[in-house]
C-alpha cells in the first residue's frame, strides 16, 4: 500500500465506514454526515488514525422547519484542507454527544451552541449558558425565535425602502425598550438564578493538602483594568495560587450572528470590522474569502496584493498593541504601550487614507477591494515597510526582550504544551509558541501567500515569554511580506465584475479562514440563494483560545493570571461577538 | 479674574498688589473641577480603543487635565460609556454609576452608547445608556475619532463651568439619587417599570374574563 498520502487529501470516509458515514450530497454542500450515535467513535478514529487533531470549529445550523445540524470543522496540525463532519438531529429533541472527552477545545463552543441554538451536548462537563445569562428565555438563533425589535425576516425592511421611513423601534414596544417577556410574567415572583452554578462548578480538588486553609473565590472583571475589556473570570484561590478558574463571557455579546442572518451579504461587511476591532482588515479578509468561495469569484491580481498588504499591516498593528498591553499587565504602566501605539497610529493613517476610517475599515468587497490606493499611499507604505517599522520593531525588541523584569515575570509562567494546545484548539501565536508550526498562511494557503518568502516563527517553551517573542518575530516576517508585496504589486483593476449592493450568492455552504493576528479566524456561511445568509457563524480565535486559559493558570499565582491573559491577546468584541 | 474690579472699593495692601485676584466662588470652584476631570478607566467595546488613543501621545487629553484615569468609580468624576451597552453588562454599569461620588457626569461615546448604534436590534443590546443613566454629552461616530472624544470632553468642561453652587443638587439636603439596578430575568427587568408589568397582567386578565364571558354566553 502506498504510504504517501498528501496532507491535503481528505479520505473517503463514506467508503471506509459504509452504511454509517454518508457523503453530503446537497448541491453546494460538502463533507460527511455521521449519525449521532457513531460520532464519538468516528471522531476518535479520525483523530488517532487519520491525523485530524485540531477541532477548529463547532457550530449549529437551524434548518427550520425540518431539522438541526451540528457542523464540525477539523484540520490536521500538519496542514491541509478541512474535514467537515455533520450530525443531523431533530429540532425538538436536539441531543448530540459531547466531544469534550476527545477534543477539550470543544468545551466553550458546545456551550455556545447550547446557549444560542438549544443543542444539548450529552456528557458535557459544564453545560451552562455562556453568552446570555442563566434564566434567559429562549434560544435566540433558532429561526422561530423573534427578538423584541423584530420587524421582518430580512433586510432591507419594506418600511425603510424605497421611501426611507424610519420609526423608533422603542415606540412599538410597551416597555419602550428592547425587551420582551413571556406571557403572564410577573417580575415580583422572579427569583434570579444568580451565579451559584459558576461558583459551584469550580473544582476544589487541586488544593494543597499540607495545610488546612480556607479557599477563596475572587472575581476579576467585568470592570477591571487588566481584563482588556468586559471579560470576567472567577478564580478559586488557595492562598495566592489558582486552584481553579472559570471565565465568564457575554458582557459584550452583540448578537453578530442573529443580526448577520438578517443583513444582506454585503451589509455584514461593516459588522465584521467590529468583531476584532483592532484588526478589522483581517476580519474583512476572512468574510470576503468565505463569500467568494460561495460565489466562485476571484479578485484581480492588484486587489490580492492590496489585501495582503493590508492584512499584514493589521497584523503588525495588532501585535504592537498586544505587546504594549502585555507590558501594561506586567506593571510597566503605559510607557511601552505609548511606544507601541505611536507606530500603530502610522498604520492607521494608511487605513484611513485607503478606506476613510481609522479602525472600522470596511474595505474589502466580494471580488476585490472597494477603492484603489490613493496617491502617496504606496510611498507611505514603502516608507513604513523599509524604514520605519523594522527599526521600531528592533527598538521594542531591544527595550523589552532582555529586560530583567520581563524575563522573570514571563519565563516559565503560563505554560501550555504542544499536545495541550492542539487538544484545546488553540491557534495563532499561542499554538506556535508551544512548538506547533501551524500557520494557515502556510498550512492551507489562501489568497497569494504562496508567492511570498517568509518564515513561520516557532518556539518551544509555551510560556508568556515565548508568546511575546513569537509576536515580535511575526512582525518582522510581516514586514518582509509587505516589502515583497509593495515591490511586486502590479497595475490593473481592483475589482472583479460590476460592483453592486445586492450580490447574488448561490445556495451552499462555505468556510473561509485566515490567519488573523490572534489565530484562526473563520466564517461559516450558509446561503439558500436568498439575498441574506441563512447562517453566519464566526469562529473567533480569541474566544476559542480562552479555552486554554484555565490550563495555563492552574497553580500559578493570581498576579500572573493577569499577565497570562495579556499573553493570550483577547479582544472582547470577538470573544463575545 | 478682571484686574479692573480690584481697583474699585477694595483696599489692598501694597505688598499684596498683583498677587491677589478676586473672583466668585462659583468660578474658581468650577474652574478647578473642570480642569481636573478624572475619567473612569472603563472600556466597553471598540470605542474604548479610541479612548486609549485619546490618552496616548498623539492626542493626549492630559493637556486638559484628564490624564488620571481611575479604574475605581469612587475616584472618578466622569464615566465615559465607551461602547455597546449589553443587557448582561448594564446592571454592572448602573452599579458603577451609583458608586461614583457626586458630582458625576456621564459621556455617551459613540453610536452604541447613544442609542444602540448598528447593534440596536440585537436581543442582548440596550438601546443607549440613557435608558438608565442621565447622559450629559453624546458623542456621535462609530467609533468617534479621538478628536471627537476630546471635543465632547471640552463640551463637558464648558457645561461644568456654567454650573452654580447655589443650585447644585448634590449639596441639597436629602439629596439621594440612586438608580435602581436592573435585574436579569427572562429578559432585562427595569425595576422602575414594574407598573407596566402590572398593567399588562391586568389587561390580560380582563381579556380572559371577556373571553370566558363570551364563551358563557355562547353556552
Q: Which of residues 343 through 402 in chain A touch B, CB cutoff 8 A?
A: 345, 358-360
Mean of all residue pLDDT scores within chain A: 88
d(CA A522, CA A537) in angstroms, rounded, equals: 8
Q: Do B126 and A184 touch (CB under 8 A)?
A: no
Interchain contact, A573 vs B197, CB within 8 Å? no
Got the DSSP string for A268-306? HHHHHHTTSTT-HHHHHHHHHHHHHHHHT----HHHHHH
Which chain B residues are within 8 Å of A338, Cβ to Cβ? 56-57
Distance CA B107, CA B147 (A): 15
Interface test with B, best of A128, A166, A170, A178 (most B CBs within 10 A): A178
The pLDDT, as a whole number, for residue A12 is: 82
Cα separation, A441 vs A473, in Å, equals 15
Q: Which residue has the higher pLDDT, A363 or A212?
A: A363
Closest in A140, A186, A192 to B201, CB measured: A186
What pLDDT, on a 0 to 100 scale, did the predictor assign at position B5? 54
In angstroms, the CA A86 to CA A54 distance is 16
- A543 neighbors A426 (Cβ within 8 angstroms): no
| Nearest beta carbon to residue B45 from set A179, A223, A573 | A573
From chain A, the residues in CB contact with B142 under 8 A are: 360
Of A419 and B203, the structure prediction assigns the larger pLDDT to A419
Strand A508-516 to A519-527 pairing: antiparallel
Mutate to test the interface with A, among B42, B84, B124 (most CBs of A within 10 A): B124
pLDDT for A149 equals 86
Q: Is A181 on the interface with B (CB under 8 A)?
A: yes
Q: What percent of chain A clears pLDDT 70, i.e. is strictly above it? A: 98
- Whether B215 has a pLDDT exceeding 60, the answer reads no
Under the banding of pLDDT at 50, 70 and 90, the label for residue A484 is very high
Decide if pLDDT at A426 tops 50.
yes
Are B123 and A255 inside 8 Å of each other by CB? yes
Mean pLDDT of A249-275: 91
Chain B within 8 Å of A196 (Cβ-Cβ)?
no
Min distance B159 CA to chain A CA atoms (Å): 28
Cis amide leading into A222 (omega within 30) = yes
Task: Please give the Cα distance from A232 to A223 (Å, whole number).
Answer: 8
Beta bridge partners of residue B132, listed in sequence order? none
Give dist(CA B151, CA B145) in Å, integer: 10
Which run of H or E residues covers position A313?
A: helix A301-330
Per 3-state DSSP, what percentage of chain A is helix, strand, and coil (rounded to 5)? 40, 15, 45
Closest residue in chain A to residue B41, using alpha carbons only: A225
Confidence of residue B8 (pLDDT cuts 50, 70, 90): low
Q: Is A229 left (phi over 0), alpha (psi -120 to 50) or beta?
A: left
Q: Grid coordinates representing A197?
A: 452554578
Q: Which among A542, A507, A535, A500 has a CA at the least distance from the CA of A521?
A: A542
Under an 8 A CB cutoff, do B197 and A187 touch?
Answer: yes
Cis link prior to B167 (omega < 30° from 0)?
no
B116 vs A contacts (CB less than 8 Å)? 178
State whether A185 and B186 contact (CB < 8 Å).
Answer: yes
Whole-number pLDDT of residue B189 = 87
Q: What is the crossing angle of helices B25-34 and B146-161, to 10°?
A: 160
CB atoms within 10 A of CB A364: 31
* Strand segments (E) across A111-267: 120-122, 216-220, 232-238, 241-248
Tell me the C-alpha distance between A108 and A58, whole Å. 10
Residue B208: which pLDDT band, with cuts at 50, 70 and 90?
A: low
Q: How far is residue A535's CA from residue A258's CA, in Å, rounded to a whole number?
A: 9
Contacts A179 to B, Cβ<8 Å = 187-190
Q: Tell me which of A195-199, A538-542, A543-547 is least confident.
A: A195-199
Give the DSSP H or E segment for B206: helix B194-218
pLDDT band at residue A25 under the 50/70/90 scheme: confident
Q: Is the dihedral of CA B194, B199, B202, B203 positive or negative?
A: negative
Spatial contact of A80 and A443, defined as CB atoms under 8 Å apart: yes
Quote the pLDDT of residue A383: 92
Check pLDDT > 90 for residue A8: no
Q: Which residues of A touch B86 (CB under 8 A)?
A: 250-254
All cell numbers assigned to A534? 441563512
**DSSP 3-state of B13:** coil
Indicate yes or no: CB of A277 within 8 angstroms of CB of B46: yes
Per DSSP bridges, beta strands B188-189 and B183-184 are antiparallel
Q: What is the pLDDT of residue B219?
A: 43
CB < 8 Å to A573, chain B: 45-46
Question: Cα separation of A262 and A266, whole Å?
Answer: 11
User: Who among A174, A178, A252 is closest to B200 (CB)?
Assistant: A174
Is A22 in the B-facing interface, judged by CB distances under 8 Å? no
- The mean pLDDT value for A430-448 works out to 91
Instruction: Taking each helix axis as running N to C, give the angle between helix A301-330 and helix A558-568, from 0 to 180 degrees, rounded to the nearest 10.
Output: 170
Q: How far is A266 from chain B (nearest CA, A)?
A: 14
CB atoms within 10 A of CB B200: 17
Q: Does position A527 have pLDDT exceeding 80, yes or no?
A: yes
- Whether the predicted pLDDT of A3 surpasses 50: no
Distance from CA of B89 to the nearest CA of A (A): 5
> How far is it, in rounded angstroms, from Cα A515 to Cα A269?
18
Give the residue with greater pLDDT, B215 vs A291.
A291
Closest residue in chain B to residue A358, using alpha carbons only: B145
Q: A349 near B53, Cβ under 8 Å?
A: no
User: For residue B108, which phi and psi values (nearest 5 degrees)?
Assistant: -90, 110
Q: Is the pLDDT of residue A459 over 90?
A: yes
Name the residue among B121, B185, B204 with its Cβ closest to that of A192.
B185
Average pLDDT over residues A523-535: 91
Task: Give contacts of A185 with chain B, Cβ < 8 Å.
Answer: 185-186, 197
Average per-residue pLDDT in chain B?
84
Q: How confident is the model at residue A302 (pLDDT cuts 50, 70, 90)?
A: very high
Give SS3 for A521. strand
Nearest to B121 among A251, A259, A342 (CB): A259
Interchain CB distance below 8 Å, A360 and B142: yes
Give the tens place of pLDDT for each residue, A556-568. 898 899 999 989 9
Residues of A within 8 A of B45 (CB-CB) are: 229, 252, 254, 274, 277, 572-573
Q: What is the pLDDT of residue B4?
A: 57
Please state, for a pLDDT cut of 90, what percent of chain A lies above it: 45
**Per residue in A448-458, pLDDT tens?**
998 999 999 99
Which is nearest to A471 in space by CA: A553, A552, A406?
Answer: A406
> Distance (Å, rounded) from C-alpha A456 to C-alpha A468?
15
Whether chain B has a CB inside 8 Å of the CB on A405: the answer is: no
Place of cell 458608586: B99
For range A57-84, the mean pLDDT: 90
* Residue (of B170, B188, B191, B195) closest to B180 by Cα position: B191
Which residues in chain B are contacts of A151 at CB distance < 8 A?
121
Whole-Å CA distances, A506 to A11, A72, A503, A524: 27, 22, 10, 15
B46: nearest CB among A140, A224, A274: A274
- The pLDDT tens digits of the residues spanning A181-237 come to 888 888 888 887 767 778 877 877 766 667 777 888 888 878 887 778 888 889 998
How many residues can be counted in chain A? Answer: 577
Contact B86 A262 (CB under 8 A): no
Q: Chain B contacts of A258, Cβ < 8 Å?
A: 122-123
C-beta separation of A121 from A127 below 8 A = yes
Strand runs labelled E in B52-111: 78-82, 105-109
Q: Provide, as residue numbers in chain A, all residues whose Cβ is less than 8 Å from the Cβ of B84.
A: 252, 254
Question: Å from A226 to nearest chain B CA?
Answer: 10
Enumerate residues 6+ apart whose C-beta is below 8 A from A26: none
pLDDT category at B85 given cuts 50, 70, 90 is very high
Q: How confident is the model at residue B109 (pLDDT cuts 50, 70, 90)?
A: very high
Helical spans, DSSP H, in B116-193: 146-161
Residue B4's SS3 state is: helix
A393 Cβ neighbours under 8 A, 6+ residues apart: A316, A472, A475, A476, A479
Judged by CB atoms closer than 8 Å, whether chains meet at A183 and B204 is answered as yes
Q: Is the pLDDT of residue A2 over 50?
A: no
B204 → chain A, closest CA residue: A184
Q: Which three cell numbers stand for residue A61?
A: 445550523
Nearest 5°: phi and psi at A28?
90, -10
What average pLDDT score do residues B48-53 get?
90
In this structure, what C-alpha cell is assigned to residue B73? 468609580
Residue A1 clears pLDDT 50, i.e. is over it: no
Residue A23 pairs in a beta bridge with A32
Chain B residues whose CB is inside 8 A of the A262 CB are 121
- With CA atoms as reference, the chain B residue closest to A571 would be B45
Amino acid at each position: 500500500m502506498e504510504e504517501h498520502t498528501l496532507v491535503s487529501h481528505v479520505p473517503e470516509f463514506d467508503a471506509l465506514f459504509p452504511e454509517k458515514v454518508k457523503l453530503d450530497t446537497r448541491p453546494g454542500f460538502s463533507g460527511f454526515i455521521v449519525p449521532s450515535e457513531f460520532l464519538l467513535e468516528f471522531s476518535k478514529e479520525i483523530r488517532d488514525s487519520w491525523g485530524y487533531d485540531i477541532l477548529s470549529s463547532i457550530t449549529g445550523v437551524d434548518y427550520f422547519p425540518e431539522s438541526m445540524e451540528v457542523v464540525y470543522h477539523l484540520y490536521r496540525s500538519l496542514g491541509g484542507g478541512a474535514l467537515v463532519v455533520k450530525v443531523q438531529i431533530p429540532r425538538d429533541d436536539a441531543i448530540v454527544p459531547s466531544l469534550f472527552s476527545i477534543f477539550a477545545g470543544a468545551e466553550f463552543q458546545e456551550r455556545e451552541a447550547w446557549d444560542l441554538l438549544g443543542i444539548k451536548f450529552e456528557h458535557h462537563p459544564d453545560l451552562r449558558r455562556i453568552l446570555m445569562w442563566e434564566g434567559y428565555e429562549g434560544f435566540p438563533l433558532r429561526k422561530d425565535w423573534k427578538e423584541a425589535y423584530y420587524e421582518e425576516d430580512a433586510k432591507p425592511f419594506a418600511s425603510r425602502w424605497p421611501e426611507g421611513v424610519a420609526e423608533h423601534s422603542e415606540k412599538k414596544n410597551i416597555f419602550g425598550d428592547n425587551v420582551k417577556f413571556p406571557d403572564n410574567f410577573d417580575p415580583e415572583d422572579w427569583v434570579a438564578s444568580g451565579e451559584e452554578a459558576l461558583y459551584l462548578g469550580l473544582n476544589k480538588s487541586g488544593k494543597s493538602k499540607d495545610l488546612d486553609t480556607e479557599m477563596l473565590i475572587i472575581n476579576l472583571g467585568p470592570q477591571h483594568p487588566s481584563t482588556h475589556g468586559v471579560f470576567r473570570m472567577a478564580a478559586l484561590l488557595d492562598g495566592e495560587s489558582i486552584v481553579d478558574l472559570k471565565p465568564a463571557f457575554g458582557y459584550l455579546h452583540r448578537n453578530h450572528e442573529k443580526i448577520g442572518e438578517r443583513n444582506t451579504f454585503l451589509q455584514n461587511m461593516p459588522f465584521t470590522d467590529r468583531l476584532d476591532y483592532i484588526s478589522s482588515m483581517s476580519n474583512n479578509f476572512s468574510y470576503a474569502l468565505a463569500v467568494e468561495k460561495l460565489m466562485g469569484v476571484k479578485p484581480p491580481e492588484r486587489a490580492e496584493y492590496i489585501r495582503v498588504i493590508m492584512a499584514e499591516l493589521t497584523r503588525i498593528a495588532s501585535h504592537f498593541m498586544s505587546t504594549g498591553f502585555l507590558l501594561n499587565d506586567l506593571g510597566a504602566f503605559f510607557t511601552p504601550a505609548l511606544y507601541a501605539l505611536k507606530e500603530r497610529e502610522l498604520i492607521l493613517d494608511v487605513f484611513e487614507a485607503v478606506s476613510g476610517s481609522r479602525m472600522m475599515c470596511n474595505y474589502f468587497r466580494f471580488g476585490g477591494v472597494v477603492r484603489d490606493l490613493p496617491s502617496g499611499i504606496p510611498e507611505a507604505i514603502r516608507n513604513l515597510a523599509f524604514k520605519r517599522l523594522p527599526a521600531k520593531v528592533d527598538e521594542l525588541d531591544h527595550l523589552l526582550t532582555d529586560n530583567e523584569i520581563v524575563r522573570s515575570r514571563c519565563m516559565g509562567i503560563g505554560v501550555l504544551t504542544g499536545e495541550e494546545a492542539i487538544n484545546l484548539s488553540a491557534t495563532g501565536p499561542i499554538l506556535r509558541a508551544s512548538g506547533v508550526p501551524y500557520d494557515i498562511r502556510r498550512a492551507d494557503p489562501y489568497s497569494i501567500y504562496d508567492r511570498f518568502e517568509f518564515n513561520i516563527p516557532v518556539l518551544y517553551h509555551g510560556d508568556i515569554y515565548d508568546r511575546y517573542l513569537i509576536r515580535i518575530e511575526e512582525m518582522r516576517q510581516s514586514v518582509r511580506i509587505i516589502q515583497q508585496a509593495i515591490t511586486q504589486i502590479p497595475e490593473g483593476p481592483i475589482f472583479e465584475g460590476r460592483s453592486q449592493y445586492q450580490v447574488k450568492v448561490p445556495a451552499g455552504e462555505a468556510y473561509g479562514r485566515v490567519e488573523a493576528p490572534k489565530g484562526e479566524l473563520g466564517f461559516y456561511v450558509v446561503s439558500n440563494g436568498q439575498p441574506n445568509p441563512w447562517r453566519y457563524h464566526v469562529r473567533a480565535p480569541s474566544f476559542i483560545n480562552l479555552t486554554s486559559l484555565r490550563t495555563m493558570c492552574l497553580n500559578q499565582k493570581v498576579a500572573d493570571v493577569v499577565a497570562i491573559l495579556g499573553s493570550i491577546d483577547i479582544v472582547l468584541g470577538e470573544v463575545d461577538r | 479674574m478682571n484686574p479692573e474690579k480690584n481697583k474699585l472699593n477694595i483696599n489692598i495692601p501694597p505688598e499684596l498688589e498683583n498677587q491677589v485676584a478676586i473672583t466668585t466662588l462659583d468660578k474658581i470652584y468650577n474652574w478647578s473641577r473642570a480642569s481636573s476631570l478624572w475619567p473612569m478607566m472603563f472600556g466597553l467595546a471598540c470605542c474604548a480603543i479610541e479612548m486609549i488613543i485619546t490618552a496616548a501621545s498623539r492626542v493626549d487629553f492630559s493637556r486638559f487635565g484628564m490624564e488620571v484615569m481611575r479604574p475605581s468609580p469612587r475616584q472618578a468624576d466622569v464615566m465615559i460609556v465607551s461602547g455597546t451597552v449589553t443587557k448582561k453588562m448594564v446592571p454592572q454599569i448602573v452599579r458603577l454609576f451609583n458608586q461614583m461620588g457626586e458630582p458625576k457626569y456621564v459621556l455617551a461615546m459613540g453610536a452604541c452608547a447613544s442609542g444602540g448604534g448598528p447593534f440596536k436590534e440585537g436581543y442582548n443590546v440596550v438601546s443607549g445608556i440613557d435608558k438608565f443613566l442621565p447622559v450629559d454629552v453624546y458623542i456621535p461616530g462609530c467609533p468617534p475619532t479621538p478628536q471627537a472624544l476630546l471635543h465632547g470632553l471640552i463640551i463637558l468642561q464648558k457645561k461644568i463651568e456654567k454650573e452654580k453652587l447655589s443650585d447644585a443638587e448634590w449639596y441639597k439636603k436629602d439629596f439621594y439619587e440612586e438608580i435602581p439596578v436592573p435585574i436579569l430575568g427572562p429578559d432585562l427587568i427595569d425595576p422602575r417599570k414594574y407598573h407596566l408589568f402590572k398593567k399588562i397582567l391586568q389587561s390580560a386578565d380582563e381579556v380572559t374574563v371577556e373571553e370566558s364571558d363570551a364563551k358563557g354566553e355562547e353556552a
